[in-house]
């Protein structure tokens, strides 16, 4: 399945492999840390078909290492239970029949404790494999380990999204972490800052979009250089002159859209969004709730007042698109977004900031006059106007992992930049996230663009 060229084994001394093992342990621990605040009962809830029970996430990311590394390449590997290969296969049809997604919440066994035992088993067996890897398969093992780690990081963000949705469905508004609550209550802005977005202009030109697999024989120990197949190949695109807002749309701004009848004005909406909005009764972003006449939102710290200066979050593509039209602008294309992001620092709020809630940009206090876009990374994923399609010349990975991204290239929109639940070392300018246009449970927000 590999499309990278790696150094021959003679150059791959034990230190390289130990570094991979260290990264493996680090990522594995991060998943368990995210679940530490959960009660056992929380682990099994599937609050809608898109949500997976936390227990399932923890098992599925472990199964990934079992199915794609340990079973093929660790001598005498034994699974704790052959049924796991069915239960925790998400969607790899060429590997075997996957368990139906919408029924994940019906599985009370294995228990939460057994799922943690499965994780420990996978950890031990990965350590056994990496302590004496078969030299003839080392390249493939490291390639798949690298994908497995990025895969587990994607599921860490999904865990946060899903835990938030699960708890939000409970009228008790359970609090995931009380320290988050205290911080959000202390920092929520009750008054909107008066600044309008500033616009940054980009010249027209032929741009290089996407990335090629590393062609250098680099045994890339730090993982820099990893990309998913959907980010390849690098190719040219003509991008006309455009402007991009210097920050994401805020809650205060989105509130003006609501108060201006945004959800009632048919001329602002795409037809699919208009009908969906009427079916679902959307009147505000997901998780918004009025308490004593004031907008509140569910957070990982329970129900809190909406922070007016924070980026609006949990809107569908349809709401983002309608908002943009209302504001006399449009959503950026993914090529425009990448053009703007490619030389920007990875500055924004990520999962390591621990709030798991988008925050107002810190420049608001400093008010520096630099108009370069802020928060392109972190805080909220930004809906683009681009469908998730193959780049010209795209080839999926070989084998079952070819199902990872390529087969989802229909009916989904691209989001860029990462969010407050994304691991900071998981995002990059070329990263293409994707969700169906109606999805609202991701940390999805809005950045405006406009023609010149």
Binding residues for ligand AVJ, rule: CB under 6 A, are: 151, 154-155, 158, 404, 433-435
Contact map string, positions 73 to 102, toward Fe ion, x by CB under 5 A: -----------------x------------
Binding map of Fe ion across residues 36-75, x = CB under 5 A, - = no contact: ----------------------------------------
Binding footprint of Fe ion, residue count (CB under 5 A):
1
Smallest separation (angstroms) from ligand AVJ to the CB of 50: 9
Token pair belonging to 244: 């991009």
Which is it for the CA torsion 312, 314, 317, 323, positive or negative?
negative
DSSP 91-135: S-TTTSPPPPGGGGGG---S-HHHHHHHHHHHHHHHHHHHHS--G
Q: Which does 4 bind (CB under 5 to 8 A by kind): Fe ion, ligand AVJ, none?
A: none
> Which one of ligand AVJ, Fe ion, none is in contact with 433 (Cβ closer than 5 to 8 A by kind)?
ligand AVJ
Nearest distance, CB of residue 161 and ligand AVJ, angstroms:
9
Window 414 to 433, contacts with Fe ion (CB under 5 A): none
Crossing angle of helices 317-326/251-259, nearest 10°? Answer: 80
In whole angstroms, how close is the CB of 403 to Fe ion at the nearest point?
10
Q: Which two tokens stand for residue 411?
A: 């009916």
Task: Show the binding pattern over residues 321-360: x = contacts Fe ion (CB under 5 A), - = does not.
Answer: ----------------------------------------
Closest residue by Cα to residue 449 from 334, 342, 339, 332? 332
Sort 129 into a burial class: Cβ within 10 Å, 0-12 / 13-18 / 19+: buried
What does 357 interact with, of ligand AVJ, Fe ion, none (CB < 5 to 8 A by kind)?
none
- Shortest spacing between CB 125 and ligand AVJ, in angstroms: 21
As a whole number of angstroms, the distance between CA 423 and CA 29 comes to 13
Torsion region of 325: left, alpha or beta (phi above 0 gives left; psi -120 to 50 gives alpha): alpha
Question: Across the strands, what pairs with 445?
Answer: 382
Kindly state the DSSP code that residue 437 receives in the 8-state scheme.
T
- Least distance from Fe ion to the Cβ atom of residue 152, Å: 9
CB of 381 to ligand AVJ, least distance (A): 10
Taking CB under 5 A as the criterion, which residues in 243-302 touch Fe ion? none
Partner whose footprint covers residue 434, from ligand AVJ, Fe ion, none (CB < 5 to 8 Å by kind): ligand AVJ
If you ran DSSP here, which 8-state letter would residue 67 be given?
A: I
| Residues within the interface to Fe ion (CB under 5 A) | 90
């Amino acid at each position: 399945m590999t499309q990278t060229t790696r150094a021959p084994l003679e150059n791959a001394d034990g230190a390289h492999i130990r570094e991979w093992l260290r990264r493996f342990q680090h990522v594995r621990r991060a998943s368990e840390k995210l679940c530490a605040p959960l009660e056992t009962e929380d682990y099994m809830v599937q609050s809608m078909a898109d949500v997976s029970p936390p227990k399932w996430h923890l098992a599925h990311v472990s199964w990934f290492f079992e199915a794609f590394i340990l079973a093929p390449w660790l001598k005498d590997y034994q699974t704790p239970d052959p049924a796991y290969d069915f239960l925790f296969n998400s969607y790899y049809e060429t590997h075997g029949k996957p368990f139906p997604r919408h029924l994940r919440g019906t599985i009370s066994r294995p228990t939460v404790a057994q799922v943690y035992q499965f994780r420990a088993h996978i950890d031990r067996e990965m350590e056994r494999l990496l302590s004496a890897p078969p030299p003839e398969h080392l390249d493939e093992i490291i390639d798949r380990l690298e994908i497995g780690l990025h895969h587990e990081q994607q599921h860490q963000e999904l865990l946060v999204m899903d835990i938030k949705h699960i708890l939000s469905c409970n009228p008790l508004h359970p609090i995931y972490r009380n320290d988050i609550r205290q911080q959000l209550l202390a920092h929520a802005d009750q008054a909107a800052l008066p600044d309008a977005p500033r616009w940054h202009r980009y010249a027209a030109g032929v741009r290089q979009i996407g990335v090629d697999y590393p062609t250098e024989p680099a045994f890339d120990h730090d993982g820099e250089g990893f990309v998913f197949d959907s980010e390849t190949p690098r190719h040219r695109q003509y991008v006309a002159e455009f402007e991009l807002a210097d920050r994401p749309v805020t809650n205060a701004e989105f509130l003006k859209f609501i108060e201006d009848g945004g959800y009632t004005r048919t001329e602002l909406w795409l037809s699919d969004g208009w009908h969906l909005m009427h079916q679902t009764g959307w009147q505000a972003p997901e998780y918004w709730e009025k308490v004593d006449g004031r907008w509140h939102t569910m957070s990982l710290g329970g129900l809190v007042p909406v922070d007016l200066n924070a980026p609006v979050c949990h809107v569908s593509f349809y709401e983002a698109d309608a908002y943009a039209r209302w504001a006399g602008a449009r959503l950026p294309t993914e090529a425009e977004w990448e053009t703007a992001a490619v030389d920007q620092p990875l500055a924004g709020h990520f999962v390591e900031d621990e709030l798991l809630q988008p925050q107002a940009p810190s420049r608001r206090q400093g008010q520096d006059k630099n108009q370069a876009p802020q928060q392109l990374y972190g805080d909220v994923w930004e809906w683009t106007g681009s469908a998730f399609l193959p780049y010209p010349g795209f080839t999926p990975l070989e084998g079952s992992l070819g199902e990872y991204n390529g087969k989802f290239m229909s009916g989904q929109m691209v989001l860029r930049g990462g969010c407050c639940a994304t691991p900071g070392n998981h995002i990059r300018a070329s990263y293409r996230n994707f969700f169906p246009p109606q999805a609202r449970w991701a940390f999805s927000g809005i950045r405006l663009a406009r023609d010149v």
